[in-house]
Structure 1
Amino acid sequence: MKRIESVKNERIKAWKKLHSKKGRDQTGRFLIEGEHLVEEAWKSDWKVETVLTTADDASLFPGECIGVSEAVMKELSETKSPQGIVAVCQKKQWHTPERLKGRFVLLDRVQDPGNVGTIIRTALAADAAGVVLGSGCADLFNAKVIRATQGALFHLPVYMGDLVTWIEALKESGIPVYGTSLQDATPHDQFHSQEQFALLLGNEGEGVQSHLLDAATENLFIRQNRKAESLNVSVAAGILLFALKS
Protein backbone atom coordinates (compact mmCIF):
# COMPACT_ATOMS: atom_id res chain seq x y z
CA MET A 1 0.00 0.00 0.00
CA LYS A 2 1.30 3.43 -0.95
CA ARG A 3 1.93 5.95 1.81
CA ILE A 4 1.82 9.74 2.07
CA GLU A 5 3.35 11.27 5.17
CA SER A 6 3.45 14.98 4.37
CA VAL A 7 0.58 17.50 4.37
CA LYS A 8 2.53 19.35 1.66
CA ASN A 9 2.08 16.51 -0.80
CA GLU A 10 0.48 17.85 -4.01
CA ARG A 11 -2.30 15.27 -4.03
CA ILE A 12 -3.18 16.05 -0.42
CA LYS A 13 -3.28 19.77 -1.17
CA ALA A 14 -5.54 19.11 -4.17
CA TRP A 15 -7.90 16.93 -2.14
CA LYS A 16 -8.08 19.49 0.66
CA LYS A 17 -9.59 21.94 -1.84
CA LEU A 18 -12.63 19.63 -1.92
CA HIS A 19 -13.59 21.11 1.46
CA SER A 20 -14.99 24.08 -0.48
CA LYS A 21 -17.97 24.08 -2.84
CA LYS A 22 -15.81 25.82 -5.45
CA GLY A 23 -13.26 23.03 -5.28
CA ARG A 24 -15.94 20.37 -5.55
CA ASP A 25 -17.65 22.08 -8.47
CA GLN A 26 -14.40 22.59 -10.37
CA THR A 27 -13.25 18.99 -10.04
CA GLY A 28 -16.54 17.07 -9.90
CA ARG A 29 -15.27 15.31 -6.79
CA PHE A 30 -15.99 15.31 -3.08
CA LEU A 31 -14.76 13.72 0.15
CA ILE A 32 -16.49 11.29 2.47
CA GLU A 33 -15.21 10.37 5.90
CA GLY A 34 -15.69 7.40 8.18
CA GLU A 35 -15.82 3.66 7.62
CA HIS A 36 -19.62 3.50 7.41
CA LEU A 37 -19.90 6.10 4.64
CA VAL A 38 -17.01 4.60 2.70
CA GLU A 39 -18.61 1.15 2.89
CA GLU A 40 -21.98 2.52 1.74
CA ALA A 41 -20.30 4.24 -1.21
CA TRP A 42 -18.53 1.02 -2.20
CA LYS A 43 -21.80 -0.95 -2.02
CA SER A 44 -23.46 1.52 -4.41
CA ASP A 45 -22.82 2.38 -8.04
CA TRP A 46 -20.95 5.56 -7.16
CA LYS A 47 -17.34 5.91 -8.26
CA VAL A 48 -14.88 5.82 -5.35
CA GLU A 49 -11.50 6.86 -6.69
CA THR A 50 -9.16 6.67 -3.71
CA VAL A 51 -9.32 5.56 -0.09
CA LEU A 52 -6.92 7.14 2.40
CA THR A 53 -6.47 5.55 5.79
CA THR A 54 -4.28 5.64 8.88
CA ALA A 55 -4.77 1.87 9.26
CA ASP A 56 -2.04 -0.54 8.25
CA ASP A 57 -4.36 -2.54 6.03
CA ALA A 58 -7.12 -1.29 3.72
CA SER A 59 -7.50 -4.52 1.76
CA LEU A 60 -11.25 -4.50 2.35
CA PHE A 61 -11.55 -1.65 -0.12
CA PRO A 62 -10.76 -2.34 -3.79
CA GLY A 63 -9.15 0.29 -5.94
CA GLU A 64 -6.40 2.71 -4.95
CA CYS A 65 -5.68 2.69 -1.21
CA ILE A 66 -3.13 5.03 0.35
CA GLY A 67 -1.82 4.94 3.89
CA VAL A 68 -1.44 8.38 5.45
CA SER A 69 -0.03 9.85 8.64
CA GLU A 70 -2.22 11.17 11.44
CA ALA A 71 -1.21 14.69 10.41
CA VAL A 72 -2.40 14.13 6.84
CA MET A 73 -5.66 12.62 8.03
CA LYS A 74 -6.26 15.63 10.26
CA GLU A 75 -5.61 17.88 7.26
CA LEU A 76 -8.25 16.11 5.17
CA SER A 77 -10.79 15.58 7.94
CA GLU A 78 -13.62 18.03 8.57
CA THR A 79 -14.52 16.61 11.97
CA LYS A 80 -13.04 17.37 15.39
CA SER A 81 -12.12 13.72 15.86
CA PRO A 82 -10.90 12.19 12.56
CA GLN A 83 -12.12 8.63 12.04
CA GLY A 84 -9.01 7.46 10.26
CA ILE A 85 -10.48 6.90 6.82
CA VAL A 86 -11.40 9.28 3.99
CA ALA A 87 -12.38 8.57 0.41
CA VAL A 88 -12.35 10.67 -2.75
CA CYS A 89 -15.52 10.16 -4.80
CA GLN A 90 -16.80 11.39 -8.13
CA LYS A 91 -19.96 13.46 -8.08
CA LYS A 92 -23.07 11.99 -9.61
CA GLN A 93 -25.86 13.81 -11.40
CA TRP A 94 -29.36 12.41 -11.76
CA HIS A 95 -31.53 13.32 -14.73
CA THR A 96 -35.26 13.75 -14.34
CA PRO A 97 -36.92 10.44 -15.27
CA GLU A 98 -39.21 10.44 -18.28
CA ARG A 99 -41.96 8.90 -16.20
CA LEU A 100 -42.51 10.13 -12.65
CA LYS A 101 -43.81 7.54 -10.23
CA GLY A 102 -43.80 7.15 -6.46
CA ARG A 103 -43.16 9.56 -3.59
CA PHE A 104 -40.99 12.64 -3.82
CA VAL A 105 -39.74 15.32 -1.46
CA LEU A 106 -39.22 18.85 -2.82
CA LEU A 107 -37.06 21.24 -0.80
CA ASP A 108 -37.37 25.01 -1.17
CA ARG A 109 -34.32 26.89 0.15
CA VAL A 110 -33.62 24.49 3.03
CA GLN A 111 -30.26 25.88 4.04
CA ASP A 112 -29.13 23.89 7.07
CA PRO A 113 -26.89 21.01 5.93
CA GLY A 114 -28.05 18.81 8.80
CA ASN A 115 -31.68 19.27 7.80
CA VAL A 116 -31.02 18.50 4.13
CA GLY A 117 -29.06 15.37 4.99
CA THR A 118 -31.60 14.15 7.54
CA ILE A 119 -34.47 14.65 5.10
CA ILE A 120 -32.63 12.59 2.47
CA ARG A 121 -32.06 9.85 5.06
CA THR A 122 -35.74 9.98 6.10
CA ALA A 123 -36.93 9.94 2.49
CA LEU A 124 -35.00 6.73 1.84
CA ALA A 125 -36.48 5.16 4.98
CA ALA A 126 -39.96 6.11 3.74
CA ASP A 127 -39.36 4.46 0.35
CA ALA A 128 -39.36 7.75 -1.54
CA ALA A 129 -38.46 7.72 -5.22
CA GLY A 130 -36.30 10.82 -4.90
CA VAL A 131 -35.57 14.18 -3.33
CA VAL A 132 -35.45 17.43 -5.32
CA LEU A 133 -33.26 20.31 -4.16
CA GLY A 134 -34.47 23.67 -5.42
CA SER A 135 -32.28 26.75 -5.62
CA GLY A 136 -31.04 28.08 -2.30
CA CYS A 137 -30.65 24.69 -0.64
CA ALA A 138 -27.44 23.59 1.07
CA ASP A 139 -24.89 21.99 -1.26
CA LEU A 140 -25.59 18.27 -1.54
CA PHE A 141 -21.88 17.47 -1.31
CA ASN A 142 -21.23 19.55 1.79
CA ALA A 143 -19.56 17.31 4.39
CA LYS A 144 -22.29 17.99 6.98
CA VAL A 145 -25.03 17.06 4.49
CA ILE A 146 -23.25 13.83 3.62
CA ARG A 147 -22.73 12.86 7.27
CA ALA A 148 -26.38 13.57 8.07
CA THR A 149 -27.55 11.26 5.26
CA GLN A 150 -25.74 8.36 6.99
CA GLY A 151 -25.12 6.80 3.58
CA ALA A 152 -28.64 7.35 2.18
CA LEU A 153 -27.10 9.68 -0.41
CA PHE A 154 -25.67 6.64 -2.17
CA HIS A 155 -29.00 4.83 -2.44
CA LEU A 156 -31.57 7.50 -3.38
CA PRO A 157 -31.74 9.86 -6.38
CA VAL A 158 -31.32 13.51 -5.38
CA TYR A 159 -32.21 15.87 -8.21
CA MET A 160 -31.38 19.55 -8.65
CA GLY A 161 -34.01 21.57 -10.43
CA ASP A 162 -36.58 24.29 -10.73
CA LEU A 163 -39.39 23.48 -8.32
CA VAL A 164 -42.13 25.07 -10.45
CA THR A 165 -41.13 22.79 -13.33
CA TRP A 166 -41.11 19.78 -11.03
CA ILE A 167 -44.50 20.60 -9.54
CA GLU A 168 -46.04 20.92 -13.00
CA ALA A 169 -44.47 17.64 -14.15
CA LEU A 170 -45.63 15.79 -11.03
CA LYS A 171 -49.21 17.01 -11.39
CA GLU A 172 -49.21 16.12 -15.08
CA SER A 173 -48.16 12.61 -14.03
CA GLY A 174 -51.15 12.39 -11.68
CA ILE A 175 -49.06 12.81 -8.54
CA PRO A 176 -50.55 15.30 -6.04
CA VAL A 177 -48.16 17.88 -4.62
CA TYR A 178 -48.73 18.85 -0.99
CA GLY A 179 -47.26 22.12 0.18
CA THR A 180 -46.65 22.80 3.87
CA SER A 181 -48.05 25.98 5.37
CA LEU A 182 -49.60 27.27 8.59
CA GLN A 183 -52.15 29.30 6.66
CA ASP A 184 -54.94 28.24 4.31
CA ALA A 185 -54.02 24.60 4.83
CA THR A 186 -55.71 21.35 5.84
CA PRO A 187 -54.59 19.28 8.87
CA HIS A 188 -52.42 16.42 7.64
CA ASP A 189 -54.42 13.83 9.57
CA GLN A 190 -57.39 14.47 7.29
CA PHE A 191 -55.49 13.00 4.33
CA HIS A 192 -55.69 9.32 3.45
CA SER A 193 -52.54 7.25 2.88
CA GLN A 194 -51.38 7.29 -0.72
CA GLU A 195 -49.02 5.34 -2.92
CA GLN A 196 -47.92 8.45 -4.79
CA PHE A 197 -47.47 12.03 -3.66
CA ALA A 198 -44.92 14.82 -3.47
CA LEU A 199 -44.21 16.72 -0.26
CA LEU A 200 -43.04 20.33 -0.57
CA LEU A 201 -41.02 21.65 2.39
CA GLY A 202 -39.57 25.11 2.83
CA ASN A 203 -36.90 27.31 4.33
CA GLU A 204 -36.33 27.00 8.08
CA GLY A 205 -37.36 30.57 8.81
CA GLU A 206 -39.67 31.57 5.97
CA GLY A 207 -41.31 28.32 4.92
CA VAL A 208 -42.33 27.59 1.34
CA GLN A 209 -42.48 30.51 -1.07
CA SER A 210 -46.03 31.66 -1.84
CA HIS A 211 -45.83 31.06 -5.59
CA LEU A 212 -44.91 27.44 -4.95
CA LEU A 213 -47.77 27.01 -2.47
CA ASP A 214 -50.11 28.44 -5.10
CA ALA A 215 -48.85 25.86 -7.59
CA ALA A 216 -49.33 22.91 -5.21
CA THR A 217 -52.34 20.61 -5.43
CA GLU A 218 -53.21 21.34 -1.80
CA ASN A 219 -51.47 22.61 1.32
CA LEU A 220 -51.36 20.92 4.70
CA PHE A 221 -50.09 21.45 8.22
CA ILE A 222 -49.34 19.35 11.32
CA ARG A 223 -51.59 19.83 14.32
CA GLN A 224 -49.52 20.64 17.40
CA ASN A 225 -49.64 22.28 20.81
CA ARG A 226 -50.15 25.99 20.23
CA LYS A 227 -47.59 26.82 22.90
CA ALA A 228 -44.87 25.00 20.96
CA GLU A 229 -42.66 26.61 18.34
CA SER A 230 -42.98 25.38 14.76
CA LEU A 231 -41.39 21.99 14.13
CA ASN A 232 -37.93 21.55 12.69
CA VAL A 233 -38.26 20.97 8.94
CA SER A 234 -36.60 17.55 9.05
CA VAL A 235 -38.90 16.45 11.91
CA ALA A 236 -41.91 17.67 9.93
CA ALA A 237 -40.66 15.75 6.90
CA GLY A 238 -40.54 12.51 8.88
CA ILE A 239 -44.01 12.94 10.36
CA LEU A 240 -45.63 13.79 7.05
CA LEU A 241 -43.86 11.20 4.91
CA PHE A 242 -44.82 8.32 7.16
CA ALA A 243 -48.32 9.66 7.85
CA LEU A 244 -49.13 10.00 4.16
CA LYS A 245 -47.67 6.62 3.18
CA SER A 246 -48.95 4.49 6.07
Structure 2
Amino acid sequence: MHKQITSLQNAAVKRLLQLQEKSRSRKKEGVFVIEGQREIGLAVKGGFRIRELYFCPALFSSEELQSLKGRIPSAVDITEMTGDVYEKVAYRGSTEGVMAVAAAKDLSLENILNLGPNPLILVAEAPEKPGNIGALLRTADAARVDAILIANPRTDMFNPNIIRSSVGCVFTTPVATGTTSEIIRFLKDRKIAIYGAALQASVPYDSIDYEPASAIVVGTEATGLSEEWLENTTQNIVIPMQGEIDSMNVSVAAGILIFEAKRQRGFK
Protein backbone atom coordinates (compact mmCIF):
# COMPACT_ATOMS: atom_id res chain seq x y z
CA MET A 1 0.00 0.00 0.00
CA HIS A 2 1.35 3.41 -0.93
CA LYS A 3 1.45 6.33 1.43
CA GLN A 4 -1.26 8.88 0.72
CA ILE A 5 -1.50 12.66 0.84
CA THR A 6 -5.06 13.96 0.94
CA SER A 7 -4.60 17.34 2.64
CA LEU A 8 -3.21 20.54 1.14
CA GLN A 9 -1.81 21.31 4.60
CA ASN A 10 0.44 18.25 4.57
CA ALA A 11 4.10 19.18 5.23
CA ALA A 12 5.15 17.25 2.09
CA VAL A 13 3.06 19.64 -0.04
CA LYS A 14 4.89 22.67 1.34
CA ARG A 15 8.27 20.96 0.80
CA LEU A 16 7.50 20.07 -2.83
CA LEU A 17 6.39 23.64 -3.52
CA GLN A 18 9.63 24.95 -1.99
CA LEU A 19 11.66 22.59 -4.18
CA GLN A 20 9.77 23.74 -7.27
CA GLU A 21 10.03 27.45 -6.53
CA LYS A 22 13.29 28.05 -4.69
CA SER A 23 16.79 27.34 -5.92
CA ARG A 24 17.98 27.70 -2.32
CA SER A 25 15.74 24.82 -1.20
CA ARG A 26 16.96 22.60 -4.05
CA LYS A 27 20.60 23.30 -3.19
CA LYS A 28 20.08 22.80 0.55
CA GLU A 29 18.56 19.34 0.04
CA GLY A 30 20.60 18.45 -3.04
CA VAL A 31 17.45 17.38 -4.89
CA PHE A 32 15.02 18.68 -7.50
CA VAL A 33 11.58 17.83 -8.89
CA ILE A 34 10.89 16.19 -12.25
CA GLU A 35 7.37 16.13 -13.74
CA GLY A 36 6.15 13.80 -16.46
CA GLN A 37 6.72 10.18 -17.39
CA ARG A 38 9.06 10.89 -20.30
CA GLU A 39 11.19 13.32 -18.32
CA ILE A 40 11.51 10.88 -15.40
CA GLY A 41 12.47 8.13 -17.84
CA LEU A 42 15.15 10.32 -19.45
CA ALA A 43 16.52 11.21 -16.01
CA VAL A 44 16.80 7.53 -15.07
CA LYS A 45 18.50 6.77 -18.40
CA GLY A 46 20.86 9.70 -17.78
CA GLY A 47 22.00 8.21 -14.48
CA PHE A 48 20.00 10.42 -12.11
CA ARG A 49 18.92 8.73 -8.87
CA ILE A 50 15.19 8.89 -8.19
CA ARG A 51 14.48 9.17 -4.48
CA GLU A 52 10.71 9.70 -4.30
CA LEU A 53 7.76 9.21 -6.65
CA TYR A 54 4.39 10.96 -6.37
CA PHE A 55 1.36 10.15 -8.49
CA CYS A 56 -2.32 10.91 -8.81
CA PRO A 57 -4.30 7.74 -9.72
CA ALA A 58 -6.99 9.83 -11.45
CA LEU A 59 -4.35 11.03 -13.94
CA PHE A 60 -1.77 8.25 -13.90
CA SER A 61 -3.04 4.68 -14.33
CA SER A 62 -1.90 1.67 -12.32
CA GLU A 63 -0.50 0.18 -15.57
CA GLU A 64 1.61 3.29 -16.15
CA LEU A 65 2.76 3.19 -12.54
CA GLN A 66 3.82 -0.45 -12.81
CA SER A 67 5.72 0.30 -16.03
CA LEU A 68 7.55 3.21 -14.40
CA LYS A 69 8.29 1.21 -11.24
CA GLY A 70 10.07 -1.32 -13.41
CA ARG A 71 12.61 1.35 -14.40
CA ILE A 72 13.39 2.82 -10.98
CA PRO A 73 14.95 1.28 -7.85
CA SER A 74 12.55 -0.72 -5.71
CA ALA A 75 13.55 1.28 -2.61
CA VAL A 76 12.02 4.48 -3.99
CA ASP A 77 9.39 6.00 -1.70
CA ILE A 78 6.04 6.06 -3.59
CA THR A 79 3.21 8.35 -2.49
CA GLU A 80 -0.32 8.67 -3.84
CA MET A 81 -1.95 12.11 -4.06
CA THR A 82 -5.53 13.23 -4.50
CA GLY A 83 -6.31 15.37 -7.55
CA ASP A 84 -6.44 18.68 -5.69
CA VAL A 85 -3.14 18.01 -3.92
CA TYR A 86 -1.41 17.03 -7.15
CA GLU A 87 -2.78 20.10 -8.91
CA LYS A 88 -1.38 22.27 -6.10
CA VAL A 89 2.18 20.92 -6.34
CA ALA A 90 2.37 20.39 -10.11
CA TYR A 91 4.39 23.10 -11.82
CA ARG A 92 3.07 22.40 -15.30
CA GLY A 93 -0.46 23.29 -16.28
CA SER A 94 -0.99 20.12 -18.30
CA THR A 95 0.65 17.22 -16.59
CA GLU A 96 0.49 13.45 -16.58
CA GLY A 97 -0.12 12.93 -12.90
CA VAL A 98 3.37 11.80 -11.96
CA MET A 99 6.39 13.56 -10.50
CA ALA A 100 9.64 12.51 -8.89
CA VAL A 101 12.21 13.95 -6.54
CA ALA A 102 15.72 13.15 -7.77
CA ALA A 103 19.22 13.70 -6.43
CA ALA A 104 21.00 16.57 -8.18
CA LYS A 105 24.30 15.88 -9.89
CA ASP A 106 27.49 17.84 -9.40
CA LEU A 107 27.82 19.85 -12.62
CA SER A 108 31.51 20.69 -12.14
CA LEU A 109 33.73 20.63 -15.22
CA GLU A 110 35.87 17.83 -13.79
CA ASN A 111 32.85 15.53 -14.09
CA ILE A 112 32.84 15.85 -17.89
CA LEU A 113 34.69 12.65 -18.75
CA ASN A 114 35.36 10.54 -21.84
CA LEU A 115 35.11 13.31 -24.39
CA GLY A 116 36.90 11.20 -26.99
CA PRO A 117 39.55 12.33 -29.48
CA ASN A 118 37.53 14.92 -31.46
CA PRO A 119 34.74 16.22 -29.24
CA LEU A 120 32.15 18.72 -30.40
CA ILE A 121 31.07 20.97 -27.54
CA LEU A 122 28.45 23.70 -27.31
CA VAL A 123 29.21 26.55 -24.89
CA ALA A 124 26.68 29.22 -23.89
CA GLU A 125 27.83 32.26 -21.94
CA ALA A 126 25.46 33.70 -19.31
CA PRO A 127 22.14 32.57 -20.79
CA GLU A 128 19.38 34.13 -18.67
CA LYS A 129 16.03 32.85 -19.87
CA PRO A 130 15.16 29.28 -18.89
CA GLY A 131 13.36 28.94 -22.23
CA ASN A 132 16.56 29.74 -24.13
CA ILE A 133 18.55 27.32 -21.97
CA GLY A 134 15.95 24.63 -22.59
CA ALA A 135 16.10 25.25 -26.34
CA LEU A 136 19.93 25.08 -26.27
CA LEU A 137 19.68 21.74 -24.43
CA ARG A 138 17.25 20.44 -27.06
CA THR A 139 19.67 21.53 -29.80
CA ALA A 140 22.55 19.79 -28.00
CA ASP A 141 20.48 16.60 -27.75
CA ALA A 142 19.32 16.74 -31.37
CA ALA A 143 22.90 17.09 -32.60
CA ARG A 144 24.21 14.66 -29.99
CA VAL A 145 27.09 16.93 -29.04
CA ASP A 146 29.60 15.55 -26.57
CA ALA A 147 28.84 18.15 -23.89
CA ILE A 148 27.14 21.47 -23.28
CA LEU A 149 28.94 23.91 -20.99
CA ILE A 150 27.18 26.89 -19.41
CA ALA A 151 29.52 29.76 -18.52
CA ASN A 152 28.47 32.10 -15.70
CA PRO A 153 24.96 30.62 -15.39
CA ARG A 154 22.25 32.99 -14.17
CA THR A 155 19.92 30.22 -12.98
CA ASP A 156 20.42 26.72 -11.63
CA MET A 157 20.13 23.94 -14.18
CA PHE A 158 17.49 22.06 -12.18
CA ASN A 159 15.02 24.95 -12.34
CA PRO A 160 11.64 23.41 -13.30
CA ASN A 161 11.32 25.87 -16.21
CA ILE A 162 14.56 24.50 -17.70
CA ILE A 163 13.44 20.89 -17.27
CA ARG A 164 10.09 21.73 -18.86
CA SER A 165 11.42 23.79 -21.78
CA SER A 166 14.16 21.25 -22.50
CA VAL A 167 11.54 18.42 -22.46
CA GLY A 168 14.00 16.45 -20.35
CA CYS A 169 17.06 17.10 -22.54
CA VAL A 170 18.87 18.45 -19.47
CA PHE A 171 19.28 14.74 -18.68
CA THR A 172 20.41 13.48 -22.10
CA THR A 173 23.68 15.36 -22.77
CA PRO A 174 26.60 15.80 -20.35
CA VAL A 175 26.15 19.28 -18.82
CA ALA A 176 28.63 21.30 -16.78
CA THR A 177 28.76 24.84 -15.48
CA GLY A 178 31.68 27.09 -14.62
CA THR A 179 33.05 30.58 -14.97
CA THR A 180 34.16 31.82 -18.37
CA SER A 181 37.80 31.56 -17.19
CA GLU A 182 37.35 27.97 -15.99
CA ILE A 183 35.72 26.86 -19.24
CA ILE A 184 38.36 28.56 -21.41
CA ARG A 185 41.07 26.81 -19.40
CA PHE A 186 39.18 23.48 -19.65
CA LEU A 187 39.02 23.78 -23.47
CA LYS A 188 42.62 24.96 -23.92
CA ASP A 189 44.01 22.22 -21.66
CA ARG A 190 42.35 19.68 -23.96
CA LYS A 191 43.47 21.47 -27.14
CA ILE A 192 39.89 22.06 -28.24
CA ALA A 193 39.57 24.88 -30.80
CA ILE A 194 37.28 27.71 -29.68
CA TYR A 195 34.94 29.25 -32.27
CA GLY A 196 33.04 32.26 -30.93
CA ALA A 197 29.87 33.52 -32.58
CA ALA A 198 30.68 37.25 -32.89
CA LEU A 199 30.61 40.06 -35.42
CA GLN A 200 34.16 41.25 -34.68
CA ALA A 201 37.10 39.82 -36.67
CA SER A 202 34.94 36.98 -37.88
CA VAL A 203 34.79 34.69 -40.90
CA PRO A 204 31.67 32.97 -42.32
CA TYR A 205 30.74 30.04 -40.09
CA ASP A 206 30.80 27.55 -42.97
CA SER A 207 34.44 28.35 -43.88
CA ILE A 208 35.75 26.61 -40.74
CA ASP A 209 36.84 22.96 -40.47
CA TYR A 210 35.01 21.58 -37.44
CA GLU A 211 36.19 17.98 -37.79
CA PRO A 212 39.01 18.37 -35.23
CA ALA A 213 38.07 18.91 -31.56
CA SER A 214 35.86 22.02 -31.55
CA ALA A 215 33.83 24.17 -29.17
CA ILE A 216 31.19 26.53 -30.54
CA VAL A 217 30.52 29.43 -28.17
CA VAL A 218 27.40 31.61 -28.20
CA GLY A 219 26.65 34.65 -26.06
CA THR A 220 23.51 36.50 -25.11
CA GLU A 221 21.35 38.13 -27.76
CA ALA A 222 21.65 41.49 -25.99
CA THR A 223 25.41 41.79 -25.47
CA GLY A 224 27.05 38.87 -27.32
CA LEU A 225 30.24 37.31 -26.00
CA SER A 226 32.33 38.96 -23.29
CA GLU A 227 35.78 40.38 -24.01
CA GLU A 228 37.36 37.43 -22.22
CA TRP A 229 35.91 35.02 -24.76
CA LEU A 230 36.76 37.28 -27.70
CA GLU A 231 40.39 37.41 -26.55
CA ASN A 232 40.63 33.63 -26.30
CA THR A 233 38.85 32.32 -29.39
CA THR A 234 40.73 30.40 -32.06
CA GLN A 235 38.56 32.21 -34.60
CA ASN A 236 35.34 34.20 -34.45
CA ILE A 237 32.58 33.04 -36.78
CA VAL A 238 29.49 34.77 -38.11
CA ILE A 239 26.23 33.71 -39.74
CA PRO A 240 25.69 36.11 -42.67
CA MET A 241 22.43 38.00 -42.16
CA GLN A 242 20.30 39.26 -45.02
CA GLY A 243 17.60 41.08 -43.09
CA GLU A 244 17.44 44.40 -41.27
CA ILE A 245 18.86 43.20 -37.94
CA ASP A 246 22.19 41.58 -37.09
CA SER A 247 21.15 39.06 -34.42
CA MET A 248 18.88 36.07 -34.03
CA ASN A 249 17.67 33.93 -31.15
CA VAL A 250 20.66 32.32 -29.44
CA SER A 251 19.29 28.77 -29.71
CA VAL A 252 18.54 29.23 -33.43
CA ALA A 253 22.08 30.50 -34.04
CA ALA A 254 23.53 27.63 -32.01
CA GLY A 255 21.51 25.14 -34.05
CA ILE A 256 22.80 26.52 -37.38
CA LEU A 257 26.43 26.43 -36.19
CA ILE A 258 26.29 23.02 -34.50
CA PHE A 259 24.55 21.35 -37.43
CA GLU A 260 27.12 22.73 -39.88
CA ALA A 261 29.77 21.06 -37.71
CA LYS A 262 27.72 17.84 -37.68
CA ARG A 263 27.28 18.00 -41.47
CA GLN A 264 31.04 18.21 -41.92
CA ARG A 265 31.45 15.25 -39.59
CA GLY A 266 28.99 13.18 -41.59
CA PHE A 267 26.47 13.41 -38.72
CA LYS A 268 28.66 11.14 -36.61
TM-score w.r.t. the length of structure 2 is 0.85
User: Paired residue for 1:35, among 34, 37, 54?
Assistant: 37
Q: Which residue of 1 aligns with 2:3?
A: 2
- Give 5+ residue unaligned stretches, structure 2: 70-75, 264-268
Q: Which residue of 1 aligns with 2:17?
A: 16
Q: Which residue of 2 aligns with 1:86?
A: 99
2:84 is aligned with what amino acid?
Answer: A
Residue 27 of structure 1: CA displacement? 0.9
User: Paired residue for 1:178, among 195, 201, 204?
Assistant: 195
Output aligned runs, 1:22-101, within 5 Å. Answer: 22-55=24-57, 57=62, 58-62=65-69, 63-95=76-108, 96=110, 97=112, 101=116
Tell whether the 8 Å contact from 1:179 to 1:216 is kept in structure 2 after alignment.
Answer: yes
Q: 1:161–1:207: structure 2 CA closer, same or farther, 3 Å change rule?
A: same
Tell whether the 8 Å contact from 2:153 to 2:177 is kept in structure 1 after alignment.
Answer: no
Tell whether the 8 Å contact from 1:111 to 1:204 is kept in structure 2 after alignment.
Answer: no
Residue 223 of structure 1: CA displacement? 1.1
% identical equivalent positions: 28
SS in 2 for 1:105: strand
Q: Which residue of 1 aligns with 2:124?
A: 107
- Give 5+ residue unaligned stretches, structure 1: none
The CA distance in 1 between the partners of 2:262 and 2:212, in whole Å, is 6
The CA distance in 2 between the partners of 1:86 and 1:49, in whole Å, is 11
2:248 is aligned with what amino acid?
Answer: L
Q: Which residue of 1 aligns with 2:225?
A: 208
Structure 1 residues 24-33 or 94-103, which shifts more? Answer: 94-103
CA deviation map 1:184-243 (0-9, x unaligned): 211102113414210111123111112211111111111121324521000111110010
The CA distance in 2 between the partners of 1:54 and 1:149, in whole Å, is 24
Residue 99 of structure 1: CA displacement? 6.8
CA deviation map 1:92-151 (0-9, x unaligned): 114424775411112111101011111112112212111111214332111111112222
Tell whether the 8 Å contact from 1:201 to 1:208 is kept in structure 2 after alignment.
Answer: yes
Tell whether the 8 Å contact from 1:53 to 1:85 is kept in structure 2 after alignment.
Answer: yes
Tell whether the 8 Å contact from 1:178 to 1:197 is kept in structure 2 after alignment.
Answer: yes
Q: Which residue of 1 aligns with 2:72?
A: none
1:174 is aligned with what amino acid?
Answer: K
CA deviation map 1:125-178 (0-9, x unaligned): 212111111214332111111112222222221111122222233123221011
- How many residues are aligned here? 246
Tell whether the 8 Å contact from 2:144 to 2:173 is kept in structure 1 after alignment.
Answer: no
Tell whether the 8 Å contact from 1:107 to 1:137 is kept in structure 2 after alignment.
Answer: no
TM-score w.r.t. the length of structure 1 is 0.92
Q: Which residue of 1 aligns with 2:255?
A: 238
